[in-house]
Amino acid sequence: MTGMTRDTAALRWPWLPELVTAAALIVAPWILPHLGFNADIAARILIWGLFGLGFDLLFGFTGLLSFGQAAFYGTGGFVTAYLSTTGVIDNVILCLIVGTLAAMVYGVIIGLFALRRTGLYFAMLTLAFGEMSFFLENSPLSEWTGGENGIAGVPVPSIHLGFLEYEFSSGWPLYGFIAALFWIGFVLARRISRSPFGMILVSIRENTGRAMALGHAVQRYKLAVFTIAAAYGGLAGGLLGVLQNYMPPGAFALQTSGQLVMQTVIGGAGTLFGPLVGATVWLWLRTVLQYIPDIGAAWKLILGIIFILLVTFFRRGLCGELIHWVRHRRAATTEAAADGHAVERQVPETAPAPERESSGPVTLERGRVPQIEPADGTPALEARGLTKHYGGVHAVTDVSLSIGVGELRGLIGPNGAGKSTLFKMLAGEITPTAGDVFLHGQNVSGVGPTGICQHGLSKSYQINQLFDSLTVRQNMLIPILGRNRGPFALDMLRSLGGVERLDEQVDRTLDLVGLSARADAPTSVLAYGEKRRLEIGLALATSPTVLLLDEPLAGMSPAERADTVALLKRVRRGRTMVVVEHDMDAVFELAEYISVLNEGELLAEGTPEQIQNDDRVQNAYLGGMSEDESA
């Protein structure tokens, strides 16, 4: 049960989907004609499916809903068509490659702008840039693209190898050419989806902010996947011209982007097969309904209604719902079989995690995080004159802190004292109005959360920031990948299961926060206390030298609280920690030095005894009440 996935079938036959797909593509020419599909429609479905593979990585995996993919479909298509019809390059296969590269370059350019915004804005921007591309093709570039006429006479590909001469003439031979490219595209997309790179994409979809805070350069990943999607679009567009012997300007139209989105959602986003299935439904409906009188004209209306119903009731799409149903059934069977052991399994997680003081310092491996020598007297974390003003609101004013290596510092203060704002500045999440942050003597102001995490500072949040649709184990992978791979790596073709000792590192951290028994549970089913431990575990798994904990005990039951206090004591060895907490007993128990914040300013600092006896602190907490009233 230590694999990356519970899918045992997939573990035993890792190439099964690829082989099944290859077999299906090979036998299709003998089966499809009986179902009403000719070679042309089959090839069209594959082109949409190929186009959709890239889009699925972008939307289904990374969560970026683009309405402008037509820009890349058109770019690839027109570059391929132009090169092959003018004879600039006399090899169609080479034209397709150049067209794909052109689409990628265009993808980088558009991505740099469109990815500046997220969510709704991203959808609007991609739509707008798609329309811009349509107009570019239509008028300014019409000398090359033929404007509204498109480019006619795109030749079919052929192979000249001296000993082998073959032309992929239209019909099933051309289908074979497109099917081969689809299969290669599918194999690559599936590898990407199962690589560490692919795992980061999913984490961006689930919780972009946390992925950033766990050391991943999210913007670069987004641009990378946007470019990949553009490449798929470009190749598919090139193939469209080849298939039709004609490159239509409609490839750039908004309808193209819209059709791609609808097909992907109908088939199931995040499944890779979804776009292909969606395209099959789309083209089949169009073909079949067109021959039925009275309904023929309404084929797209019917599709639209199906689409709305699917989005509303079956958002996972056809493939997604099927996969979900199968997994659900399998999980139910496993659970029934394991029912007898369930009670046993429950024991270790409800019992308080054992103290392991004797087992030596619990330090995780540091990967690329530099090991800091504690001796030279440089503070681990230092704030100098940190200030944050929002207009007239002075959230934090001129706060300076110096936290020594290995120290556990408590940070307390009444509600609204500015503790969370201070933490956000320390973690690089917000830019201070004034002041600087030093991490092991290095000025890290303006580095941002990703850079600060890579410098060895990590934060656990007051409100859980988890990757909700992933399992506990997958959650834990995200910080560990950030630590092992640095802020950005293009290890798209590497298997997640093949990364050395990844499982071991995940298991060790899960063990540390007492979640080993829940490793394969989806995060959404965890109890609150377990989620809280996972939240802390995510921060721990980055192997920080400095750990910020924002109210780690918030909302916990007494038993959970005791567990967590014990956990904090365990992990503090070899680390510098700052804890914001309202639970005063816990702060006084844990911290050896306490800083008190009030109304955005540093009110007092001292040992727990000094703070407990400080009149100013008492006044701040009692909110101006006089002594006898409070008694």
Partner 1 sequence: MPSPSLFFAQLFNGLALGSLLALVSAGLTIILGTLGVLNFAHGAMFMVAAYVAWWTMVATQSYVLAALAACAVLVVLGMIIERGIIQFYYSRPPEDQILVTFGIGVVLVEVIRVIFGGISHSMPVPDWGSGIVNMGFLIYPKYRVLALGIIAVALLALYLVLYRTRLGLIVRAGIEDQRMVGLLGINVKRTFLAVFALGSLAVGFAGAVYAPIIAVNPEMGEQLLVQSFVVVVIGGLGSFPGAVIGGLIAGEILTLTTMFNPAYSHVMLYLAMAVVLVLRPQGLFGVEGRE
The three-state DSSP-derived secondary structure of 281-346 is HHHHHHHHHCCCCCCHHHHHHHHHHHHHHHHHHCCCHHHHHHHHHHHHHHHHHHHHHCHHHHHHHH
State both tokens at 176. 């074979």
State the minimum distance, in angstroms, from the CB of residue 296 to partner 1.
10
CB of 232 to partner 1, least distance (A): 20
CB 358 within 8 A of CB 573: no
Distance CA 464, CA 474 (A): 16
Q: Which is nearer to partner 1, 47 or 303 (CB)?
A: 303
Give Cβ neighbours of residue 72 (< 8 Å, ≥ 6 apart).
103, 106, 107, 229, 230, 231, 233, 234, 237
398 token code pair: 């001129």
3 state DSSP class of 194:
coil
CB-wise, 138 or 516, nearer to partner 1? Answer: 138
**Residue 117 or 329 having the CB closest to partner 1:** 117
Residue 355's SS3 state is: coil
Query: What residues contact 208, with CB distance under 8 A and at least 6 apart?
Result: 118, 218
33 or 119: CB nearest partner 1? 119
Sheet of 546-550, strands arranged across:
457-460, 546-550, 576-580, 408-412, 593-598, 601-606
For residue 399, the minimal CB distance to partner 1 (Å) is: 22
Q: Which residues would be at the binding site for partner 1 (CB under 8 A)?
A: 59, 63, 65, 67, 113, 116-121, 123-125, 127-129, 131-132, 135-136, 139-140, 142, 254, 258, 261-262, 265, 297-298, 300-301, 303-305, 307-308, 311-312, 315
Q: How far is the CB of 454 from partner 1 (least distance, A)?
A: 25
| 86 vs 255 by CB, closer to partner 1 | 255
Nearest approach, Cβ of residue 299 and partner 1 (Å): 9
- Closer to partner 1 by Cβ: residue 207 or 509: 207
Q: Kindly state the smallest distance separating residue 39's Cβ from partner 1, in Å.
A: 29
The Cα angle at residue 321 between residues 7 and 51, in degrees rounded to 5: 90
Token pair belonging to 92: 């169609």
CB of 167 to partner 1, least distance (A): 38
What are the tokens at 366? 């540091």
Q: Which is nearer to partner 1, 315 or 327 (CB)?
A: 315
Residue 24 Cβ vs partner 1, minimum distance, rounded to whole Å: 29
- Residue 38 token pair: 């000719």
Three-state SS string over 222-287 comes to HHHHHHHHHHHHHHHHHHHHHHHCEECHHHHCHHHHHHHHHHHHHHCCCCCCHHHHHHHHHHHHHH
Closer by beta carbon to partner 1, 284 or else 307: 307
